[in-house]
Amino acid sequence: MTTTSNRHDPGTGPTNAHSAATATADDPVEGLVNLRDAGALKGAAARLVRSGVLYRSDAPLPGDPTPHGLEWPPGTVLDLRDPRERGEGPHPSKASGTHVEQLPMAGSLAPDTVARLHAAQVTLPELYDGLLDAASDWLPTLLRVAAHHRGPLLVHCAAGKDRTGVAVAVLLAVAAVPQDAITADYLTTNDVLPALEHRMRTAHPHRPDVPAHLLDAPREAIGTVLDRLGPDPAGWCHARGVDPGHIVRWQRRIWPEHHWW
């Protein structure tokens, strides 16, 4: 496992920010665009969780260069995409010896939500609500992988924004990260949306365009998730089938030692 020497400044956003800022229609973005260490928080929240434990990103592609400032490759990848999105062949991270698990979150959505999503009639808050309505289908696996992964753990979907945003918000909330810090992490995706859309369109030119109203990362969308989790995110997860031991083990993995004293 390789650690790059150019350390990423915590809280400064995605590690491929230069590529994101300079991409043009004729210049495909090389490397993950929406990648960041979800534990590299700003201000007082930086003392609450460890960095180098939980990464989030858009979908890795074959040939992506090693990102700057992160311990890489991750020890475990949790891929939240559906089988049709993943396509044929192994996950690109397997080539580096990374353990890959699949958790197709959207497969748990209610049929009416799926129909409205395909018809571009669902908003992001409604989509996130739908994912949380079905949390008992995917949440126990999320916490199991987070609790027992060989780290760092990379969680990703296609854009690293919606399914990943919900999953990472849950993991951070269970670790008692303040809601404003979770919101700030989610909103960071807005800094790279043009390059992210371009990378996805270049990688999958024949897929239908995503409706414009689903491309943003709005505050009210992640607010829906945090409101649903309420004042006791760990209890909310336990009520949906998560093993309490996995919650405690995850907390011990991401909390610094001083958190326990």
Element (H, E) at 77: strand 76-79
237 is catalytic: no
Identify the three-state secondary structure at position 153.
strand
CA–CA gap between residue 56 and residue 119 (Å, rounded): 28
CA–CA gap between residue 120 and residue 208 (Å, rounded): 12
Q: Which of 185, 190, 140, 220 is nearest to 38 (CA)?
A: 185
Residue 175, C-beta contacts closer than 8 angstroms, at least 6 positions apart: 48, 49, 250, 251, 254, 255
Q: Are 81 and 193 in contact (CB under 8 A)?
A: no
Please identify which of the residues 29, 122, 157, 181 carries the catalytic annotation.
157
CA–CA gap between residue 179 and residue 181 (Å, rounded): 5
Residues with active-site annotation = 157
